[in-house]
Amino acid sequence: MPVHNKIHFFFFLLVFGFASPALAQEGLTISKINFKGNQTFSSTELMILMELSQKKHFVTRLFSGAAESSRYSEYVLQRDLNRIINFYKTEGFLHAKIDSFHLDFKENEADDGYSGIVKVDIFLTEGEPVFIDRVQLMIHKHEFDANNGFSHILRLLKKEARRLTKKRFRDQDLIKLKSNIINAFNNRGYPFASVAPDAVLDPAENAVTVKMLISPGQLVTFGEVEIIGNKKVTTSLIRKQLTIKPGRKYQIKRIRKSRQQVYNLGVFSIVTFKILTEKMQNNSLPVQVIVKEAPRLTTRFGAGWGRDDRFRGFFEQSQLGFLGGARKQRLFVKHSFREPVTIDWEMIQPAVWGPRNNLSIKPFYRRQREESFDAERIGQMASLFRIMAGYTRGSLAYTLERVRTQFQDFDELYTKSSVTMHIYRDNAKPMFTPNRGMYSSVIFTLSGLGFNSRTFGKIQLEAKRYREVFSRVVFAYKARAGYGFVYGKNREFPQEELFYAGGSTSVRGWYRSRLGPYFPGTTKPRGGVNLFEGSTEVRFPVWKEFGAVIFLDFGNVWNDKYSDILKNNDEHKIRFAAGLGLRYLTPIGPIRFDFGREVFNTSGNNREIAFHISIGQAF
């Protein structure tokens, strides 16, 4: 006969280590953990803090492996309860406490080899949170001087400090404020600044007064800058990237910017700045720049298979120090079903007209095999790339190419002389599986700059956003729009420049380029001068390196006016597709399997399920 027991323990037994009958229940399987009294933080948030966990369902255990943490241990529970209270205190609940915990256990009813199951109820009292009444920033009286600019620094910092007033007394807010104070002084010539925080609690008001006692230290300038470790790259080229100069006021932001600009040369694998405090004289601080040059010759190659490209392979070889300096050359060769031949040779000259600019020259030869056309392209591109801001980049490129296209019964040979401006901002992270941040871009192309070129233009806008809505659950969405136009004498839009929709990175209810108008009497996609498409996707983990997605895509391409999208007819209306996907994470990005099908279409024109295999997220 199973025995049913109930035992109730007060938290002081854990704190003072008194013996308890709970020790006899070591090894029981935890069937449930409940929290009572928590209001500010959910039970899920508190469970994340615990080593112990409740027994998972069979399907969850099947995909997550063994769950040793679901076995009850009073010692581990004690650590968990202490951790929960510490968490509350860091969040401003200084009076939070564990009142008691309750064990409800049944012996000899386990089905997995343990001696029984136990349900844990944890009773806690959050108490009233402590708020910040005011934040005082004070310079150490022995270091304050009205003429040294401290008053100006404090005025700027006080604006930030006032934002903490009436907020909960949270550790992370004060740590951030302390860091910002030190950083502000570091950027104004005080590398040895320190902050001593102090908080005085007023029990009657349940509020604290926070005092930040600041010791700026000495006013320091940069001393001599020594560069070591470079062998092929000249010291003078490295110095041109530096914003720190001897005699200039010390600023930590100049060190960070200099390091980034040296690294942007693309010829170093390591760039380190060392502050030589032991050699400081007369408040002048020497700096040592340590670099390690990257391998002069690197080779990459690979092969794979995808639903659209089928078999594909590539070879890439790069050489640093080409013709001396930091110049680089790159040879890239690729083959796939869609691009039978791609050959690019590129020469890149970094730091042209400033540390933020790169100039590249790239002759190329390409052959394309699409659903509706074949193209052969040979040409030359010259582009100027610029780092415009922290996450913003831009480029201006001129391209002259000779193109031969074959589609339907047409065989055309023509020239394109065009300029393209591309500006984008990208703070999405991490690189291959982003879970936060945003990417946005605008691309404008204008063709018809002499050489009897085709006269046309294209505008493309794109935005992608990533948000982690729960732990490891990411909501991602994107929108993309394109518009093409013709002008001048050669008023024919090149077939290879038209927009197409459908495929593994587009609307996944259709195969590549299959969404949109077709050539009359054929199954060949015609393409369009107008495009609008988007996607929403929920990405979540399944088991170990496996993940899954649920997606809804929409879009279409069409000709004539862009406003025709508002017409409710089959040719112009937005089409929708929904589906499921499976992901397997690898160091170079996820291997992706997607199944999509058209939805919200009462006419039933497209009932097939499109299957896509590729590497990398859909967006």
Q: Are residues 98 and 189 in the same domain?
A: no
Residue 7, CA distances (Å) to 55, 509, 578 in order? 20, 57, 52
Domain boundary among 258, 293, 328: 293
307: in domain: no
pLDDT score of 490: 77
Model-wide pTM > 0.85: no
Q: Are residues 31 and 113 in the same domain?
A: yes
Q: Are residues 458 and 587 in the same domain?
A: yes
484 in Cβ contact with 492 (< 8 Å): no
Domain boundary among 180, 215, 250: 215
Q: Are residues 512 and 592 in the same domain?
A: yes
pLDDT score of 582: 96
349: in domain: no
Q: Are residues 168 and 77 in the same domain?
A: no
CA distance 586 to 11: 46
**Cα angle: 36, vertex 28, 38; to 5 degrees:** 10
Q: Are residues 192 and 235 in the same domain?
A: no
Q: Residue 263: enclosing H or E segment and its boundaries?
A: helix 252-263
pLDDT, one tens digit per residue, over 479-523 is 999 999 999 887 789 999 999 999 999 999 999 999 989 988 888
327: in domain: no
Q: Are residues 286 and 148 in the same domain?
A: no
Domain harbouring 238, CATH code: 3.10.20.310
CA distance 336 to 370: 12
Domain harbouring 432, CATH code: 2.40.160.50
Q: Are residues 237 and 274 in the same domain?
A: yes
Average pLDDT, the chain: 88
340: in domain: no
Secondary structure of residue 290 in the 3-state scheme = strand
Structural domain harbouring 394: 371-615
320: in domain: no
pLDDT score of 407: 87
Q: Are residues 121 and 135 in the same domain?
A: no
Tally of domains in the chain:
4
Residues sharing a CB contact under 8 Å with residue 262, sequence separation 6 or more, in sequence order? 238, 241, 242, 268, 271, 289, 291
pLDDT score of 10: 40
User: How many CB atoms are closer than 10 A to CB 92?
Assistant: 20
Domain boundary among 89, 110, 125: 125
CA distance 584 to 593: 9
pLDDT score of 69: 65
> For residue 569, how far is the Cα from the chain centroid?
39
Q: Are residues 115 and 141 in the same domain?
A: no
| 243 burial via Cβ count (<10 Å: 0-12, 13-18, 19+) | middle
107: in domain: yes
Which of 585, 578, 508 lies closest to 541, judged by CA? 585
337: in domain: no
Q: Are residues 439 and 401 in the same domain?
A: yes
Q: Are residues 144 and 9 in the same domain?
A: no
316: in domain: no
Residues of the chain short of pLDDT 70, as ranges, are 1-27, 56-69, 107-115, 141-148, 602-606
E strands, 80-145, in order: 97-107, 116-125, 131-139
